[in-house]
Amino acid sequence: MSTRVRLTKHQHLLICKKRSECPEWTYNELAEWARVTFCLTKYPGKSTTLDIVKHEAKLSTLSGDCLSKMRLRSHHMVRLDEAVAEFVIEAELSKTPISGREVIR
């Protein structure tokens, strides 16, 4: 079993909010707070906590469904999903029947 600490983006955002509430805390104190609050087996490292706090601006713009994830999808996958959705919508509008195989091609 991995000892790596895996946090959701929502938990990252809560760490950032706690940092704003207690700016005098060190990153180690912030990590210990996260361990207790999120019932983690070990606390996130100092560098992990620093990286989380650095990305607060990006985290605050995420939608609710993205916050529940541990990893964000790459922009390439998002663009691919958009292209497939656009293809399906155009097929529906033109009343062109499509199958799953055609979408996969």
Domain ranges of the chain: 1-69, 73-105
Instruction: Return the exposure string of 68-84: e unless at least 16 CB atoms fall within 10 Å of the residue's CB, then b.
Output: eeeeeeeeeeeeeeeee
Predicted confidence at residue 72, as pLDDT, reads 59
pLDDT, one tens digit per residue, over 33-68 is 999 999 988 888 888 899 888 888 877 776 666 655
CA pair distance 32, 27, nearest whole angstrom = 9
SS3 content of the chain, % helix, strand, coil (to 5): 60, 0, 40
Predicted confidence at residue 7, as pLDDT, reads 84
